[in-house]
Chain A
Amino acid sequence: MIVGVVLLVVVAVAFLLSVAVYNALIGMRQAVQNGWSQIDVQLKRRHDLIPNLIEIAKGYMAHERQTLENVVKARQQAVDASGLQDKQQAENFLSSTLRSLFAVVENYPNLKADQQMLRLHEELTSTENKIAFARQYYNDEVTRFNTAAQTFPNNIVAVLFNFKSYDFFEIVNPAEKEVPQVKF
């Protein structure tokens, strides 16, 4: 009798606990997904801005066809990419081509002073910042979710209901990733 009651209490407590954990995990997963959609919105915004940028730059820098084409190509790749890994790579590539484009723009004072160009530059800077912030928020939420889902006793619930950990969205600067070669 007593054993039965104790067992019942234990089961009830375990059930209530797992309900709480399950709900908390769902909440955190929502935050992660919200973070991801924020990143997506900002990436799309950048894709939309680039054609305008190319259109304005074309008029001033006819001799930099290669740089402009690189940006267009990179943009297309980024638009077509699907899946976290692909997206990450394509977007990083796009960022680096944009950087080299703006480095070239420095040599064209007329283009730099163009009112529309100034406006677009501000918009692009802002979008880059938003991507960085959205990524930061997403990664923070992923850390929170992953930590919660992997610690005991939450991990039991996580395994039971098939909660998978999320990957970080990393912006890797290709130059930084290379291991520096040390020569003597």
Chain B
Amino acid sequence: MYIVVVGGGKVGYYLAKELLEAGHELVILEKNAGRARQISDELGSIVLNRDGCEGKHLAEAGANRAAIVAAVTGDDEDNLVVCQMAKHHFDVPRTIARVNNPRNEDLFKHLGVDEIISPTRMVLASIEQDIPVHELLHLAQLKGGEMELVEAQITDNSPAVGRKPTDINLPEGSSLFLLLRGNSVAQVRSDTVFQAGDKVLAVASGEGESILRRELIGDGEPVGAAG
């Protein structure tokens, strides 16, 4: 697969390295001459010392035959412009942008960037996982955001303690499916009895979420970062 990587910072460099090892064909566009030289010393002549935001440089890099253009500079505005140029000027089937300000994610999607990677969001999600928040933890969006994959932490005060899934009044369209207890992982069965300390993975729709939270975690005020 032919891939154009724009931005030869840490992300671009390691990305290129991994992709090369996986056998892909690629070029990196890096506008800083010193940095470009440094990368070609390490990885060989796969670097073009050019500004990837300019149409003619993307053309020179062969963007018109690229399967993917990945814009991974540290500047959101540059990453957006690269993806928009790639998409609309070179018909690149898949554009990927690094987004540093998580607030920009929606705008990027709206403007047609195919895939958005937000390191800030990832670190944030990871930190949130470590906070004992008595809330549903959002793990992933399904069906374009209609459904959410969530994790519920069952505590001593949860109404679900000592109950089976069949005793729980589940909202429509939701499903409990995986039980994480200690180091073991098991499917939630109709005879599973929930204990404090369990984590339950569930799928819920937007409006079903609050019911699911009440049934599994309880009505207590959520505590955590804000509390």
Tell me, yes or no, whether A binds B.
no
